[in-house]
Amino acid sequence: MDIQDQSEAHTKFVRGLYWAGIPTLFKCDYQDTPKDCDIALVGIPHSTGNGTTLRDQHLGPRAVRDVSGLGRRIHLDFRLDPWEKYKIVDIGDVPLVEGNNNETSIDHITDYFRKIDQSGARPVSIGGDHSITGGTLRALGGKSSNLSKGEPVALLHIDAHTDTFMHLEHFLGARKSAAHWGAQLVTEGHVDAHSSTQIGIRGNPRTLDWYEPSRHLGYELITKKQYDLMGESCVNDIIRNRIGNKPVYITFDLDCLDPSIAPGVANLEPGEPGFNLKQVVGIMRSVRGLNIIGGDIVCLVPTADNPNKITAMVATNIMFEIISLIADSLGS
């Protein structure tokens, strides 16, 4: 083996070690633009839209970059190597130079995603608190969107909470907040609630009408208890039938998972069991083959995670599943 071959072999070996080299999402190549790529991986280091006590969600992208080199490369169930079939790059983080100003930051997220939308790349993001979905879908859904062809999108929203608290003027000062985006995107024309499903809702309601805003807007709301009674097949039929042929966006809040699986999240709901990984993967696959224009994973709090970074690893696996669903749909 000559010197050049040795160098190439060494580089390939190092790229295969998750702890070696410069960390990017899934060890993808880095470029600072979504131009000429199929799937753009994005970090959104934002945590001022939540307003509760755990605000280190802005560290989520860094944590997933750290562990995602260890993530799966091949989707055995789909018989798919997404990295080989499509150009997937890490385009870095949304620059949030006024990170303590929630409203300005959400506007900056929207401006950033408009550039992704116009490029035609399909974004998969790691946040960040759940207000980032409001910033993202103001660019990707509705009249001015390229990816949705001017249509409001259908949401597959997997979460412990509805995030449709219309009756609150603001959430501890944040107006485009993690508690409001699910309602605001509907009233502004970016999301079609009548094609969308919120699933996994559980936890700590404060009033008997806690879920009414979602139903009033037109969402199909399926609580975790209802899912347990109905089963995966029935629930997935509901999700798919509502979507029809609309463009789909997947938003995944890690607090939908049981705290034993994902302890490092912002709003733990230990009062009743959350989803396990098999269940949420089954739910996400309800949209396989549909026009999935993007997705996000939110509410990872690395400073509350276990020392072995288990929640970051779980987030990595959810991100890989969304990437694979998009890659699979691009080939169908």
Contact 247, 329 (CB under 8 A): no
- 280 closest CA partner among 321, 310, 309: 321
Beta strand spans in 39-129 (E): 39-44, 88-93, 122-127
Select from 174, 143, 139 the least CA-distant residue to 296. 139
Amino acid at position 71, single letter: G
Q: What is the pLDDT along the chain (332 residues), one digit of tens a residue?
A: 555 555 565 555 555 666 777 899 999 999 999 999 999 999 999 998 886 667 799 999 999 999 999 888 899 999 999 999 999 999 999 999 888 888 999 999 999 999 999 999 999 999 999 999 999 999 999 999 999 999 999 999 999 999 898 777 667 667 787 778 999 999 999 999 999 999 999 977 777 888 999 999 999 999 999 999 999 999 999 999 999 999 999 999 999 999 999 999 988 999 899 999 999 999 999 999 999 999 999 999 999 999 999 999 999 999 999 999 999 999 86
Confidence at residue 98, expressed as pLDDT on a 0 to 100 scale = 86
- Count CB neighbours of 233 within 10 A: 9
pLDDT of residue 20: 76
Cβ–Cβ under 8 Å, residues 162 and 203: no
Closest by CA position to 221, among listed 204, 196, 244: 196
User: Where are the domains positioned within the chain?
Assistant: 37-330
Q: Phi then psi for 239, rounded to 5 degrees? A: -55, -50
Threshold 0.75, pTM exceeds: yes
CA distance 171 to 175: 6
Alpha carbons 182 and 187: distance in angstroms, whole number: 9
Q: Does the 37-330 domain belong in CATH 3.40.800.10?
A: yes
Residues 149, 51: Cα–Cα separation, whole Å: 34
